[in-house]
Amino acid sequence: MSELQTYAASTISPVLSRALADLALQEPPIDTVAYLSNWLKLWAAAQEAESKRKEDAMKLIEHKERLSAEATQKQAGIALEKEKAARPMKLLAGVIDKVAGVDYREDCKHCEAYPSPSLWQELTDTLREAIVGCSGCYVGEVVTSEEGGKLIRYIVNSGTGPGQGELAEGDGVAWKVFEPVEVEEAGDGEENGQRSRQIYLPNVMDVDEVKYFTYAKPGAFIAVPISYTSVLNKEALEATMADLKERQDQFTEEMAAYQDAKAKHEEEVAGLEEGAEALEGPVEPVLRELTPLGGVQRQLVLCVDTLGAKGGLMEIPDEVREKLDELAGRLSDAMAATELQAIREQAEYNVSEEGRSGRKGVLERYREGSCGEEVEKAVAEAMEALGEDAAAPSDEEKEIIKLSCKFSVMRSVVSGDVKKDLLADIAARRLPEEALSVLIKAFLLFVAGQPSEALAADQPPWSELVTAINSDAVWESVLAVDLRLPRPNVAEEGSLARVKEMIRKAVESGGLRGEDGGAIGDDVAEAHPVDVILLEVLEAAVELREKDVTARWLVSDLRKKLFEPQGVPDAVEAGEVAEGEEPAGAGEETVEEGEEGQQQQQQQKVPVAEVRVDPSEVAAIDGDFVPLLEKDLAKLAEERGQGADETVEA
């Protein structure tokens, strides 16, 4: 079938067939041509009208869909704008709820102070995001400097700000938040309340007292005080322990009196006649509330600024300032509550039978496992392991073997029998003492070989120390450490000299030994068993390391190189006569005694050793060699000075 035939069959034939069918139904007489012509015209008009109707209907559908899409988009935009407008207050409300709902068990893990450094950072980051135009949000704490003066030390920062800077007392405007304020007089129907102590500056450029940490920029600034009575100190702990003991004794006495009164009352009730009035019985005693604790005032300041914000001068709205006041109050309450909880929990543990027996038991097991008999047994096994064919060790080598066995026995006991109770006692410390913190840090660095970068701070947060010493990897390192191996380029924080200084500091601050550095007293061991155990393990490790390092240094090639004569001609050393010189003693009779001869003797130079050993070269072999090198260099310098003086005098 041709293309024309196909077109006719699909397009023309159906139409003509319908036209002819209608024509056949018509009654004659009829003009066939006129009828077919009119029918086709009407059909074409109907088809055109139907096509237009469909087109109009499609346009109407598209228009409705476009209007619906625009309406949906507009509603979404309105909702987005509303959400965007409400987001700052929503974020602020979320921060306040988080602080208000503090869970001591969840938020103060491992005795961590509240807020933790990570939470402080989260709070400041959220505030910076919530406050429109905020360029910096930072928190400072009032501390006492080494010189005795007060200053604000910034502890956390988000965005641009002082970082870890300091603000001396009297500088800037932040100090004004700690000045006393008068109580506002309440109006009719209102309650008296204290005026907000926040300092708000709509534009810092208008205030001369503002201190800039970089350069002056326009913007708003607000400082809000965070202050509360801190009880996280030794005095509060001791007072709580004493109060707990007194309360328990009082309760025991009252309970005994109650039992006597109850028995007497029961006898009286039994003797009553039928129908007699019932007698009132004694009231069972209850534990009284603990005495409120005194403390020290802790002061912090929360600062927010919009300095240099995009879009020009950005002020901080009133509702945001109110939320910052509310947040500061919540933080104060949360910090005070968590500290009080921490002190009471530690005090309860200290005076409880569980705490007392735990401390006593851990010390007894440690003493039993690391006694002299166990050490002597380990030494005997080590000497036997050398074999009969091996050369007899020197006295110094025997001493090192003995010290090595002593340390191995002590660390095995600490890592095994006493580890569980030792860690339990550490975890119970809500108020970490300085001595224990230093000892744990030294133990982690020196015995466990932990990287110094993780414990770089002079006093790492207590939570970090507790988390680290509870790690299984740390105790695996304790069992595997070999203190007799060289420690090339060891960091200063983990060096032998540094650890010795840390032990000295812990002993002094904790009073673990007497003033003369003698033995540890029984009362100290009973009160601080964990401190004593860690101290003795560290001292054994240091003694072993020091003895071994000294022995290896004395026979090292570097030390030999240090003391070899250098810069002196070999011929002179051998006693030979250099060309142009006379043998010793020759011409003695011809040498004239006098002033000229004495000057020549004074000008003679004494051959001295020129040091060719660099500290970095020594540290590359063993970092603990460096102090010994410095000691030998000082000795050499002293000998040279004495030798030169003797030559001049001669």
pLDDT band at 571; cut points 50, 70, 90: very low
DSSP secondary structure code for residue 174 in this structure: G
Query: Cβ neighbours of residue 604 under 8 Å, at least 6 residues apart?
Result: 647
Asked if residues 196 and 323 have their Cβ atoms less than 8 Å apart, the reply is no
Cα distance between residue 342 and residue 295, in whole Å? 14
Q: What is the pLDDT of residue 592?
A: 44
**Do the Cβ atoms of 232 and 343 come closer than 8 Å?**
yes
* pLDDT score, position 190: 44
Distance CA 204, CA 199 (A): 11
Q: With a cut of 50, say whether residue 43 has pLDDT above it.
A: yes
How high is the pLDDT of residue 576? 46
359-378: average pLDDT: 87
Using N-to-C axis directions, what is the helix angle for 372-385 and 395-415, rounded to 10°? 120
Q: What is the pLDDT of residue 565?
A: 57
Q: What is the CB neighbour count within 10 angstroms for residue 47?
A: 11
Average pLDDT of span 349-369: 87
- Band of pLDDT at residue 123, cut at 50, 70 and 90: very high
Confidence of residue 164 (pLDDT cuts 50, 70, 90): low
Q: What does DSSP say about strands 296-305 and 199-201: parallel, antiparallel, or unpaired? A: unpaired
Select from 527, 526, 529 the least CA-distant residue to 537.
529
**Distance of alpha carbon 325 from alpha carbon 198, whole angstroms:** 7
Place of tokens 């005994």: 256
Mean of the pLDDT values across residues 10-31? 81
Q: Which of 119-128, 308-317, 628-637 has the highest mean pLDDT?
A: 119-128
pLDDT of residue 182: 63
Out of 237-246, 320-329, 365-374, pick the least confident. 365-374
pLDDT in tens, 528-564: 899 999 999 999 999 999 999 999 999 988 888 877 6
pLDDT above 90 (res 638): no
**pLDDT score, position 646:** 58
Whole-number CA gyration radius for the chain? 45
Residue 307 CA, chain-centre distance (Å), reads 30
Dmax (CA) of the chain: 179
- For the chain, the residue count is 650
**What's the rounded Cα separation, in Å, for the pair 491 and 479?**
21
Higher pLDDT, 77 or 642: 77
Any idea which of 67-76, 191-200, 430-439 has the lowest mean pLDDT?
191-200
Token pair, residue 478, equals 């304790």
Adjacency order of strands within the sheet including 166-168: 166-168, 150-159, 136-144, 296-305, 221-230, 199-201
* Alpha carbon distance 596, 578 (integer Å): 23
For a pLDDT cut of 70, what percent of the chain falls above it?
85
The CA-CA-CA angle for residues 268, 271, 272, to 5°, reads 90
Query: What's the mean pLDDT in 400-423?
Result: 91
Of 452, 459, 468, the residue nearest 434 (C-alpha): 459
Q: Are strands 166-168 and 199-201 parallel, antiparallel or unpaired?
A: unpaired
- How far apart are alpha carbons 325 and 620 in whole angstroms? 56
pTM for the complete prediction?
0.67
Residue 606 has pLDDT above 50, yes or no: no
Using the predicted structure, report yes or no on whether residue 105 has a pLDDT greater than 80: no
Question: In whole numbers, what is the pLDDT of the chain averaged over residues?
Answer: 82
Distances (CA, A) of 127 to 92, 210, 279, 353, 560: 7, 22, 64, 46, 64
Both structure tokens of 225: 């005080």
**Which of 483, 603, 629 has the alpha carbon at shortest distance from 543?**
483
Q: Which amino acid is at 223?
A: A
CA distance 155 to 446: 29
| 291-314 confidence digits (pLDDT tens) | 999 889 999 999 999 987 776 678
The one-letter amino acid at 496: L
Q: Mean per-residue pLDDT for 145-166?
A: 82
Please name the helix (run of DSSP H) or strand (run of DSSP E) that holds residue 391, with its range, or none.
Answer: none
pLDDT, tens only, 229-253: 999 888 999 999 999 999 999 999 9
What is the number of alpha carbons within 13 Å of residue 94 lying toward its C-beta? Answer: 14
Q: At 391, phi and psi to the nearest 5?
A: -65, 145
For residue 337, name the pLDDT band (cuts at 50, 70, 90).
very high
List, as one string, the DSSP characters of 486-505.
Answer: --TT--GGGSHHHHHHHHHH
Q: How far is CA 398 from CA 393, 403, 554, in A?
A: 6, 9, 17
ω into 115 cis (within 30 of 0): yes
Question: How far from each other are the two terminal CA atoms of the chain, in whole angstroms?
Answer: 138
User: How far is the C-alpha of 570 from the C-alpha of 561, rounded, in Å?
Assistant: 16
Do residues 35 and 29 lie in contact, with contact meaning Cβ atoms separated by under 8 Å? Answer: no
Given CA atoms 7, 11, 16, 17 in this order, what sign does their dihedral have? positive
SS3 227: strand
- Left (φ > 0), alpha (ψ -120 to 50) or beta: where does 55 sit? alpha
